[in-house]
Amino acid sequence: MLNSGCQELAETAAAAFREVFGAEPEGLWAAPGRVNLIGEHTDYNEGFVMPFALPFYAVAAVAKSETWEFHSTYGEGDTVRADALGTSAEDGVAGWAGYLAGTAWALNEAGYPVGPVRVAIHSDVPHGAGLSSSAALECAILIALADLHGHEIDRGEAARIAQKAENEYVGAPTGVLDQSASLLCTEGNVMFMDCRDLSREQVPFDLASEGLQMLVIDTNAPHRHADGEYASRRADCEEAARLLGVPFLRDAPKDAHLDDDRLNRRLRHIVTENERVLDTVKVLEGGSVAGIGDLLTASHASMRDDYEISCAELDSAVDAALGAGALGARMTGGGFGGSAIALVETAAASKVEAAVIEAAAAKGLPTPRVFVARAAAGAHRVA
């Protein structure tokens, strides 16, 4: 079942395709953004994550062509043309279109040959909000190219291919969380995934039956050094694993300790965060969503104090939400800006929203945007 929003996006993408290319697209493919419920920075440590797809999609209207032509409806509504993909954003296609070109490149690299297409993209995944708008682009074009060229690709393998586009073509050293969320999440569920082998389980996430809502709070914080800090956290984890003599921090014993204080705190975040994911699964499978509140809040404290990836805007949102009665709250995604989530009783949602906005104003921070999340469908072809 599609949400009507997706259908509308698809119509706009198709109209843009007709206008720019003067022809009909061969099809329309949609891929969503995500929030991660819990399990942060665990993906590149081969640990556990728990994302769900948001009902925001990038829709690609696509048809085969002689050269690569990428058009998007946002920003200037620009069109990028390329005769060849190159091997990276530097010698190929840079900017937003690099996510599309990079995914085509990664498909070729993975042994799924794809030829040039024209694409018109229309997306309502918020940009710069830490909700994976770039993974949505990658995953929409990936399933489009696979369908148009007759490749049947397992969705787990597809997630790895999209991750390769991001890592090697675009040049961001991210894990597999965002792409697997976009490709593999299912409506009404939160996905529990082991990033070691991408084995996964869809866990029912029925907020309404408990009178609950999940709020997403986009802090509108400016991104500060997020890329460099992300890479340095990743390097810390690799160094910690090396010192412990384990392949990844996923393999570190629970009581592992490192003398270096900073590395020890990075280690502690990853070890305890993996534990919290497993506990969250248990609580949800035990039939309680309300029961995960404390785990969410503990996860935030660990990211703030041990992993040091929060910021004033995220802390303000989390503290204000908790102060106004949220059952649990945490930043979600990479950190240093972006969004937080708050689990609230439906009756308390507007009070929490007001408190979050007021707290930001009192501190002179940007005004956050708050919306209610629901677990939506993963990437699919739009009829």
Angstrom distance (rounded) from CA 332 to CA 345:
20
Residues binding ligand GLA: number (CB under 6 A): 11
Tokens matching residue 79: 């069109």
Residue 134 beta carbon to ligand GLA: minimum distance, rounded to whole angstroms: 8
Alpha carbon separation from 137 to 6, 103, 112, 152, 219 (Å, rounded): 14, 9, 19, 19, 22
Q: Which of 20, 25, 31, 41 binds ligand GLA (CB under 6 A)?
A: 41
* Residue closer to ligand GLA, measured from CB, 69 or 138: 138
Nearest approach in angstroms of CB 366 to ligand GLA is 20
User: Which entry of 43, 124, 178, 218 is annotated as an active-site residue?
Assistant: 178
∠ at Cα 138 (135, 139), nearest 5°? Answer: 85
Pick one of 123, 174, 299, 302: the residue that binds ligand GLA (CB under 6 A). Answer: 174
Give just the sign of the alpha carbon dihedral 314, 319, 322, 327: positive
**Sole binder of ligand GLA in the list 69, 124, 138, 178 (CB under 6 A):** 178
Contact call for residue 333 and ligand GLA (CB under 6 A): yes
| Beta carbon nearer to ligand GLA, 178 or 313 | 178
In whole angstroms, how close is the CB of 150 to ligand GLA at the nearest point?
Answer: 30
251 part of the active site: no
Is residue 334 at the binding interface for ligand GLA, with CB under 6 A as the rule? yes
Q: Is 330 in the site for ligand GLA (CB under 6 A)?
A: no
CB of 266 closer than 8 Å to CB of 240? yes
CA distances from 292 to 214, 222, 284, 371 (A): 12, 30, 7, 20
Query: In this chain, which stretch among 35-43, 78-86, 143-151, 180-188 interacts with ligand GLA, using CB under 6 A?
Result: 35-43
Separation of alpha carbons 348 and 357, rounded Å? 15
306 makes contact with ligand GLA (CB under 6 A): no
Nearer to ligand GLA, 29 or 44 (CB): 44
* Dist. CA 20–CA 85, nearest whole Å: 21
**Cβ pair 270, 253 in contact under 8 A:** no
Q: Does 43 bind ligand GLA (CB under 6 A)?
A: yes
Dihedrals phi, psi of 41, to nearest 5 degrees: 65, 15
Is 177 among the residues that bind ligand GLA (CB under 6 A)?
A: yes
Active site residues: 178
Q: Give the interface with ligand GLA as residue ranges (CB under 6 A).
A: 36, 40-41, 43-44, 174-175, 177-178, 333-334
